[in-house]
Amino acid sequence: MDTKGHTTIARMTRRAAAIALCASTVLAGAAIAAPQARILETGSSLLYPLFNLWVVDYAKTHPAIQITTQSTGSGTGIAQAISGIAQIGASDAYLADAQMRKDPGMLNIPLAISAQMINYNLPGLNNRHLKLSGPVLAGIYSGQIRDWDAPQIKAINPGVPLPHHAIVPVHRTDGSGDTFIFTQYLSFSTPAWGKSIAYGTTVNWPAVPGGIGANGNPGMVNASKGTPYSIAYIGVSFRKATQEAGLGEAMLQNRSGKFVMASEKTISAAVAATAAKTPADERISLIFAPGPESYPIINYEYAIVKQQQSSPEMAGALKTFFNWAISPAGGNSAKYLRQVGFVSLPAPVRTLSERQIATIR
C-alpha cells in the first residue's frame, strides 16, 4: 500500500475514534442526567406551596433526584405513604396511636412549622380584623350560633356593625390536616366540642343549615370568595390567595385570652412555649399554646414516610432531601419559609428530625 493509502486509513481511523468518543460522551451525559430516584410526594394542600418552592431549586443541585408533588389532602397523603404509592405523605397531622400500632414502620418527621387562619366574607367588614374565639367558632360550626350579630360575637367585637345575617360555615370534605388542627383548636378551647365531635382529619360535621363543603385549601378560598357571609379555616400558605380574594382574616383568642393574628412573631411565640415538649417520635400537638403572644393554631408540617424503603438508593435519596429540607441553609431558610408564612424548626426539634431521618433504610 502506498503512503497516500496509509494516510487515508489513518484519517478514517482517527475520525471513527472521534465519533465513538463523542457518542460515548453523549451516552454518559444522558446517564448522568437521567433521574436515579423518582420520589412522589402527595398530601397536604397547606404544605404543597412550600414543596413546590423547594423542588424547583432542589432539582438544580440534585438532578439525579426527581420529586413530583401532588396536592391531595393530608388524609390521602397519609394513606398513600402507608400503602407505598407515594414515598412522602405530606400531612398537617401526625399519625394517631392506633394508626402507629397498625403501621409501626411509619415515621412522622416535622419539616417546618405552619399555622392556620380563620377567614370570612362579610360584606363591608372584610377590611377589619374581627375577633373570634374557639367557643364562638365551635358554636358556629355546631349550628348553635347562627347569625353574625349573635350576642357571643358582638360581645367580643364591641362597636362593630355586625349584620343580622345567617353565617355560612365552610368545611373541608376531603381527609384534611387542616380539619385536624382546626378541630383540635375547637376541642382544646371548648370542652363540649371535644366531648361530642372531637378532632381528626375527618369529623362528623353537624348539619348546619346553609353550610357548605370544599376540597383542599384552594377550594376553601374559592367557596368563601363566592359565598357572602361565609366563614372558613384556611392554611397560612394561602394568605396571598385570601387577600387577592378580598377575604377578611380574624384575630383569634389564645389560651391566655388575648386576640392575636398569625405572624412570624406569634407563631414563634407558640413554638417557644411548646416545642421543648416534643417527644423522640415527634408526634405532638402545638395547638392552643400558653403565652400572651402565642397564636393558637400552629402545627408541625410532617413528612409521613416508611422507615423501610424499596431500595438503598431510594432510602439515600429521601435522606438527602429531608436533611436539605430541614437545614437552615436549605429548605428551612427564610428565603422559602417567609413566602408561605411558615417558621423554621427550632434547633432541638431539627436534631430530633435528623435522628428520625437517619433511621430510613
Q: Do 67 and 55 contact (CB within 8 A), yes or no? A: yes
Top-level class of domain 36-113+298-358: alpha beta
The closest alpha carbon to 45, from 211, 214, 252, 198, belongs to 214
Residue spans of the domains in the chain: they are 36-113+298-358, 115-277
Which of 6-15, 208-217, 238-247, 327-336 has the least mean pLDDT? Answer: 6-15
Distance CA 211, CA 223 (A): 11
pLDDT of residue 31: 37
Return the residue matching grid coordinates 412555649. 273
The closest alpha carbon to 110, from 317, 359, 354, belongs to 354
**225: which 3 cell numbers?**
370568595
Q: Which long-range contacts (CB under 8 A, 24 or more apart) does 81-84 make?
A: 81/42, 81/43, 81/106, 81/304, 81/305, 81/306, 82/106, 82/304, 82/306, 84/306, 84/310
Instruction: State how far the alpha carbon of 119 is from the alpha carbons of 8, 126, 333, in Å.
Output: 81, 9, 27
Quick: pLDDT tens for 312-331.
999 999 999 999 999 999 99
**What's the first-to-final CA gap in the chain, in angstroms?**
64
Average pLDDT over residues 207-221: 97
Instruction: State how far the alpha carbon of 167 is from the alpha carbons of 109, 177, 211, 323, in Å.
Output: 38, 24, 8, 45
Quick: pLDDT tens for 285-303.
999 999 999 999 999 999 9
Average pLDDT over residues 262-277: 97
Given a cut of 70, whether residue 5 has pLDDT beyond it is: no
Our CA angle for 33, 36, 37, nearest 5°, is 130
**296: which 3 cell numbers?**
393558637
Give the SS3 label for residue 120.
strand
Domain 115-277 in CATH 3.40.50.10800? The answer is no
Distance CA 234, CA 232 (A): 6
- HSE-up of residue 167 (Cα within 13 Å, Cβ side): 25
Quick: pLDDT tens for 136-168.
999 999 999 999 999 999 999 999 999 999 999
pLDDT of residue 27: 32
User: DSSP for 145-184?
Assistant: --BTT-HHHHHHSTT----S-B-EEEEE-S--HHHHHHHH
Do 36-113+298-358 and 115-277 show the same overall fold? Answer: yes
Q: Do 133 and 252 contact (CB within 8 A), yes or no? A: yes
pLDDT-based confidence at residue 257 (cuts at 50, 70, 90) = very high
**126: which 3 cell numbers?**
372584610
Distance CA 247, CA 229 (A): 10
pLDDT of residue 36: 80
pLDDT of residue 339: 97
Q: Which helix (H) or strand (E) holds 42?
A: strand 37-43
The amino acid sitting at 187 is S
The closest alpha carbon to 286, from 114, 138, 118, belongs to 114
What mean pLDDT value characterizes the chain?
Answer: 92
| Residues 242-277: b if buried by 16+ CB within 10 A, e if exposed | beebebbbbbbbbbeeebbebeeebbbbbbebbbee
- HSE-up of residue 280 (Cα within 13 Å, Cβ side): 2
Q: What percent of the chain stands above pLDDT 90?
A: 90
pLDDT of residue 35: 63
Distance CA 132, CA 251 (A): 6
222, with CB counted inside 10 A (0-12, 13-18, 19+), is: middle
pLDDT of residue 237: 97
pLDDT of residue 43: 97
